[in-house]
Amino acid sequence: MTTTESSLSPERSGAPEPGRRAAPATGAWLPTWGLITTKNLEIRKRRGLMITMVVLIIVPTVLFYGLRLIFHAVDPAGYGVAGSPQFFSQSTNLIDEFGFIAAAALGAAAGTTDLSDGMFRHLVITGRSRLALYLARIPAGLAVLVPLVALAFLMNSLVTSYQSPPNPTTASFFSVTAPDNLNQAELKTFMLQHEQQVINGFLPGLPVGPGTGNPTPAQVTSAIDQNIASYYSNYTAAEISQSTPPVNEMAKIGLWLELDVGIAFLVGLGFGSLTGQRTTTIIVMVAFEIIVTPLLAHSQLPYFIDGQRLILGVAMDQLRPAALAAASGPGQGGGGGILFGGRGAIGFPPMPTWAMLSVIVGWIVAWSGIGAWRMMTRDA
């Protein structure tokens, strides 16, 4: 250790006087740019975490399309083109699921590593507002997460846009094949003109079944009259699922994806800050995403349906863009259709827009609030 330098500050002379230097405004709750960028640096330099992020977000998409592109290049006759509306939907869901887990892990790391590394104490001693220290983690973490998800989704969109077969001119639903771009009245006319197709398709509402024989034309007309709205919903779902999404719909899906992983990051950050334990936080978040949410989202519990709607995944599914929802296949759409063209991908009764937004905003605000509160009250 050298002690040759007499002073750190050239202007220092003699004993410091009280209030001689104006103290920096470290008490402000808003994080500074420097605080955000250095926190981002701290996250980026965690090599293991960054590798995990890339493996979870980028690698599945690369493998998914990479193998298909190679197979198609090697044997075009045996293997079709790499992209398709169905593959687009599947790949997006893959990014969403793995992205959620990666975001939760990133949030948990951002929320706990200062504590576990012993830096939290140093940071508190600086006098900087603890709220500012917490809030700095949000843009710092999102700056890592958002570009990775965007990159994965961009690959997905590019392959789908340039490597998909041409859009079909017809849409098939319940074995009925109708021309594209019909409105509800035109579809009704088409179905009335093609009764045999309708009968062969065993459409719901038709009096067909064992021992009933063929329905009469009057019965078919009556069934179409009564159920045209339902048939049209399935027709549009089929039409969307068999078409490559337009650019604006892809943009919408990308934003939905970023929102979903962004919320996962915020929940992981808040929960990690609450527990102070990274591993526990990640385990709980993964269990929530891959066990609890699917269980509660795909089955309706009597008298608990409103409780199920408080699950983040259910509300987010309600907001799921139509191209993703419809790709689950005819009849799978939840029928949300309430905001930005969202339809819901799961067989779950829709909830009002205000309720869906309340649940999503509630998750963001509640977990951010809990994390910030714990940060502000924790002993360092």
What is the closest distance, in whole angstroms, from the C-beta atom of residue 26 to other proteins in the complex? 5
User: Cβ closer to other proteins: 61 or 234?
Assistant: 234
What is the closest distance, in whole angstroms, from the C-beta atom of residue 177 to other proteins in the complex? 17
The span of 155-163, 190-198, 213-221, 245-253 binding other proteins (CB under 8 A) equals 245-253
Question: Of 144-183, which residues contact other proteins (CB under 8 A)?
Answer: 167, 181-183
Question: Of 69-108, which residues contact other proteins (CB under 8 A)?
Answer: none
Q: Which residues contact 352 (CB under 8 A, 6 or more apart)?
A: 338
- Per rule CB under 8 A, is residue 195 in the interface with other proteins? no
Binding residue for other proteins, selected from 222, 337, 347, 364, defined by CB under 8 A: 337
Binding residue for other proteins, selected from 57, 101, 133, 138, defined by CB under 8 A: 133
Binding residue for other proteins, selected from 84, 236, 281, 293, defined by CB under 8 A: 236
Please give the structure tokens belonging to residue 170: 């017809």
What is the closest distance, in whole angstroms, from the C-beta atom of residue 125 to other proteins in the complex? 5
Binding residue for other proteins, selected from 147, 207, 217, 352, defined by CB under 8 A: 352
Q: Are 161 and 244 in contact (CB under 8 A)?
A: yes
The span of 74-82, 89-97, 264-272, 352-360 binding other proteins (CB under 8 A) equals 352-360
Burial of 9-37, coded b for 16+ CB within 10 Å and e otherwise, reads eeeeeeeeeeeeeeeeeeeeeebeeebbe
**# residues near other proteins by CB under 8 A:** 85
CA distance 217 to 310: 46
Binding residue for other proteins, selected from 59, 249, 277, 329, defined by CB under 8 A: 249
Q: What DSSP string describes 290-334?
A: IIIHHHHHSS--TT-HHHHTTSHHHHHHHT-BHHHHHTT-TT---
Question: Of 274-293, which residues contact other proteins (CB under 8 A)?
Answer: none
What is the closest distance, in whole angstroms, from the C-beta atom of residue 343 to other proteins in the complex? 7
What is the closest distance, in whole angstroms, from the C-beta atom of residue 185 to other proteins in the complex? 11
Q: Are 192 and 231 in contact (CB under 8 A)?
A: no
CA distance 195 to 10: 94
Q: Are 179 and 190 in contact (CB under 8 A)?
A: yes
Question: Of 27-46, which residues contact other proteins (CB under 8 A)?
Answer: 27, 32, 34-35, 37-39, 41-42, 45-46
What is the closest distance, in whole angstroms, from the C-beta atom of residue 126 to other proteins in the complex? 4
Binding residue for other proteins, selected from 206, 240, 311, 327, defined by CB under 8 A: 240
- Per rule CB under 8 A, is residue 251 in the interface with other proteins? no
Eight-state DSSP code of residue 163: S
The span of 52-60, 214-222, 232-240, 287-295 binding other proteins (CB under 8 A) equals 232-240
Question: Of 297-316, which residues contact other proteins (CB under 8 A)?
Answer: 305-307, 309-310
User: Closest Cα partner for 263 from 137, 142, 127, 90?
Assistant: 142
Angle at Cα 360 formed by Cα 288 and Cα 323, nearest 5°? 85
CA distance 349 to 333: 10
CA distance 64 to 78: 17
What is the closest distance, in whole angstroms, from the C-beta atom of residue 318 to other proteins in the complex? 10
Q: Are 55 and 97 in contact (CB under 8 A)?
A: no
Binding residue for other proteins, selected from 92, 113, 164, 273, defined by CB under 8 A: 113
